């Protein structure tokens, strides 16, 4: 029995985390939701995202991003001028984002009624970061993480995949504003 206990302890300690994430690796985010059906949601980092080079300086791109997010209906919760980050670290929405059906941006599965993104509670994390390139231009990287759950049932959130449309709209709207 002691040998089994020692073996379990050795296995567990070898699997334990050092407590600090690997450099450059995104960290999972756990969010507690309050309200009628309180719960929690863990958004794991996604390797999906979009990056596009722009023939403008990082400062020029950074200046128009808050307007772009606002025009698409994404409330700004993160505005970091040192890291050139803008977006929202997570908020709940239903049916539409800026007048556009959520199913156009996210695939959360379907029921007989239609796409789940259009009838479920959706929790969205929408972020963009501007990176300066050595040649004086900038690259804008966008990341969208979404999860959804039925409004009527106490069910956990399930991960949604991005269609890439919202990321493309952010980049295109940024290009339009900068070319004016």
| Entry pTM | 0.72
> What DSSP element (H or E) covers 176?
helix 165-179
Q: At what angle do helices 165-179 and 58-71 cross, to 10 degrees?
A: 120
From residue 163, give the alpha-carbon distance in Å to each of 13, 69, 102, 145, 146: 40, 18, 10, 11, 11
Q: Which two tokens stand for residue 143?
A: 């990341």
Residue 97 and residue 56 in contact, taking contact as beta carbons nearer than 8 Å: no
Which residues of the chain have a pLDDT value below 50? 1-28, 44-47
For the chain, domains (ranges, CATH) are 50-179 (3.30.530)
The rounded distance, in Å, linking the Cα atoms of 82 and 76 is: 16
pLDDT digits over 68-88, tens only? Answer: 999 999 999 999 999 999 999
pLDDT digits over 103-112, tens only? Answer: 999 999 998 8
């Amino acid at each position: 029995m002691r040998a089994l206990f020692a073996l379990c302890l050795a296995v567990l300690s070898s699997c334990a985390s050092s407590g600090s994430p690997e450099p450059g690796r995104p960290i999972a985010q756990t969010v507690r939701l309050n309200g009628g059906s309180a719960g929690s949601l863990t958004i794991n980092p996604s390797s999906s995202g979009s990056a596009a080079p722009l023939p403008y300086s990082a400062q020029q791109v950074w200046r128009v991003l808050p307007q772009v997010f606002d025009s698409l209906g994404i409330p700004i919760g993160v505005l970091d001028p040192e890291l050139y980050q803008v977006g929202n670290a997570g908020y709940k929405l239903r049916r539409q984002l800026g007048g556009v059906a959520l199913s156009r941006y996210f695939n959360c599965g379907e029921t007989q009624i239609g796409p789940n993104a259009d009838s479920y509670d959706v929790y969205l994390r929408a972020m963009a970061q501007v990176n300066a390139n050595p040649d004086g231009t900038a690259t804008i990287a966008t990341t969208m993480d979404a999860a959804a759950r039925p409004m009527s049932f106490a069910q956990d959130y399930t991960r949604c995949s991005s269609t890439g449309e919202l990321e493309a709209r952010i980049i295109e709207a940024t290009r339009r504003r900068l070319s004016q």
